[in-house]
Every structure is written in C-alpha cells, then in structure tokens.
Structure 1
Amino acid sequence: MNLIVWRGLFYKSWEHCKIEKQADMLAVESIIVGNHQGKIYNVSYVLKINAEWCVQEFEITSEIDGVTAVVLGKEQGEEWLINDQLRSEFRGLHYIDISVTPLTNSLPINNLHMAIGEQHVIDVLYIDILANDLKAVKQRYSRISKDQYLYENCDSDFSSIIQVDAKGIVKSYPGLFEVVAENVAK
C-alpha cells in the first residue's frame, strides 16, 4: 500500500491518497480539500484500475461551496457509462484525467511504458471537478528522461515537465502539485 500526500499549488489544496494492490488490480481512495478562486471544496474519489493502469470504474463525490455532486463512471468495453447513461462521445477513451489531482497523470505514464525519447498522443476523458464538466481531450506525453515526462495539452498551449518516482507516481508537477509526504506501508 502506498500513502501519498500532495499539495495543490494552483488549486490551493491538500490530497491524501491511498493506493492498494488487490489481486490483479489497484484500488485508489483519495480525499482532497481546498480553496480555489473563492470556492471552498472537498473531493473524494475511488478508482478501480486494472493491471495495465487503465481505470475500469470511478466514483467522484465533490462538495463545492456546500453543493454536492457525484460522478460515477464505468468502462464497458469501448464505452463509458456515466451516471448510468451511455455516453457515446467518450467511446474509445482509455484514460481519465481528474482536474484536481496529479494521480491520474500517472495512469498513461504507467500504461504506455515509453522509452526515453518516445511520445504518445492519447484521448482522455477530462473531468473538471470545479467547473462540473466532462469532455474528451487530446494529450501528449513524451518521456524525456528516466523520471521526467513532458505533458502537453493538445487543445491549448499548456505544457509542463512532470517528475515521477520509481513506480511512475507523480512527485512534482511544477506550478500545480508536489508530493509532501509518501509512505509505503506493508
């Protein structure tokens, strides 16, 4: 089991994340609290991740300024069932990216097994928690060293160099997130 605490620099947040191996999958449970652009929020999410680091199911519960919302997602083959509705616009998306956490950047990093110098453009289900918005986006990951990846949002000019640990978990995402504590429990 891994326990990680991230500090959100942009989102003015703290996240406590637990990653636990269960049989042939990973179970992730996390809690985030923060204050961004005058919005006080808390987010809890649960992910079920297969051995290839692809999310099979997620549950995200958020409370923003006292208003609660829940987003449930389940992959069914090439389709996504979101809050019990089939969403055809997300067909074929194998990755999710939750806006207020760096953990979901670790998913493609661990799934793609890139060699140094290699890059991939991927289609992602982007979940913007604070805007209550889900959309398909394109992202590019390029491995630039043993522990660094260039992340680029193909729909904007945003890019950043992400540093990961030996397990591919994000340690530093300049301007957005940084690990402040990590513990591997037995």
Structure 2
Amino acid sequence: MNELHVAWAPWSGPGHEHLVLREVSGALTAHSTVEGVSDQGRRFSIRYFLRTDSACRVREVELALLGGDARLSLRSDGAGRWSDDKGHPLPELDGCIDVDISASPFTNTLPIRRLGLAPDSSDDVTVVYFDIPSLSVRRARQRYSCLGPSLYLFESLETGYRAELPVDTAGLVLDYPGLFRRLPPR
C-alpha cells in the first residue's frame, strides 16, 4: 500500500487543502479537507472522501460542508451510472466516469491517470461537477491533452477555460495557474 500526504494552497487569498491518498492494487482512496473562500467571498470548509476502482473510475464520492448539515453522497457502477446514498438512480449523470470538485486540484488526477494519454493526444470526458460551497451537482464536458510526460492541458468545453497543468509521477497537479499551487512536504 502506498500513502501520500499532499497539500495545496490557493494562489491568492486564504485557504488550504490537505489530502491523504492511498493506493492499493491500483485503486485509490482519498480523504481531504479543504478550507477556502468562494467566488462570492464566503469562507467554507469541506471534507471529502473519494474511492476509485483499479481502472481509476470513480465509484464513490462523499462531501460534507463543515459547520452545517449539508452533505452529499453518490455512488457509481464504474460504467457511468450514478445513484444517491439511498440507491435512487441519477440518470442526469449517466455517462460520467470522473468527478470534478471545484475547490480541489486533486480531481484532475483522476482522468489524467485513467486515460493514460500518450504525448500529443487528447480525450474528451464528461464529469460530475461539484460546485463548492453550494454542493450543487451538474454534468460538465472537459478535454485533457497530454503535452508531454508531465504536462497536460485542461479545457472546459463549456466555458472555454484552459490551463496547462504540470503533474508529478503520480499524476498529481503541481501547479494550477491562477488557482492552486502545491505546497512542499513538511
């Protein structure tokens, strides 16, 4: 079993994420706490848990807004069919394999690892997008392009937003220009 402790901070303003990532037989579990400030200037703290299968397909994600009752728990069959914590199907999320938690650069690791893109190749993905701190959920279309062995281009196909993401050997983002920067280990 491999275990990594990773931390990121916003480029500007207060905030911090501490992630504990465990890998067993290719499957990942992530436990993280994120503190930050929303686009509207509201402070928030969230905790999330995420689990993938050995093909890096998200199987479970749980989010909780700390200091309140807001919680969200979703499960996937790994083939893009989602349900809530009571087992009720969520057909509006059909086809989503990956997730994107807006307050965390970690979720970019999931499609980067799952797709295993060769340099100069790209692939489009549809993700379950979690807006933080509202915990609202929607589908989002994105593209990942491999620019080199440790550099990816992320694109939102809906907004046109683009960012080059340098990553380490585990596919974890080192720098998300304008949003997050990886902190050195303590």
Give your verdict on TM over 0.5.
yes
Alignment deviations for residues 45-80 of structure 1 (CA, whole Å, 9 cap, x no partner): 1111111111111111113xx543111010035310
Q: In the TM superposition, what is the alpha-carbon distance from 1:40 to its structure 2 partner?
A: 1.4
Letter in 1 for 2:109: S
Report if the CA contact (8 A) 1:11-1:100 is conserved. no
What secondary structure sits across from 2:108 in the alignment?
helix
Question: Aligned residues, how many?
Answer: 181
What secondary structure sits across from 1:3 in the alignment?
strand
What secondary structure sits across from 1:108 in the alignment?
helix
What secondary structure sits across from 1:105 in the alignment?
helix
Using the aligned pairs only, state the percent identity: 27
Picking from 157, 162, 169, the partner of 1:159 is 162
What secondary structure sits across from 1:114 in the alignment?
coil
Q: Which runs of 5+ in 2 are unaligned?
A: none
Q: Which has the higher strand share?
A: 1
Letter in 2 for 1:25: A
Q: Of the two structures, which has the highest relative contact order with CA contacts closer than 8 Å and spacing of 6 or more?
A: 1
Q: What does 1:59-70 correspond to in 2, within 5 Å?
A: 59-63=62-66, 66-70=67-71
Q: What does 1:1-186 correspond to in 2, within 5 Å?
A: 1-9=3-11, 12-23=14-25, 25-36=27-38, 37-63=40-66, 66-76=67-77, 77-84=79-86, 85-182=88-185
Q: Which runs of 5+ in 1 are unaligned?
A: none
What root-mean-square deviation, in Å, do the aligned CA atoms of Structure 1 and Structure 2 show? 1.7
Q: In the TM superposition, what is the alpha-carbon distance from 1:24 to its structure 2 partner?
A: 5.1
Report if the CA contact (8 A) 2:61-2:75 is conserved. yes
Q: How far apart, in 1, do the equivalents of 2:12 and 2:141 lie?
A: 22
Alignment deviations for residues 135-182 of structure 1 (CA, whole Å, 9 cap, x no partner): 111101111111111100000121100110011111111011111134
Letter in 2 for 1:17: L
Moved more, 74-83 or 133-142: 74-83
Report if the CA contact (8 A) 2:163-2:176 is conserved. yes
4+ residue runs over 4 A deviation: none
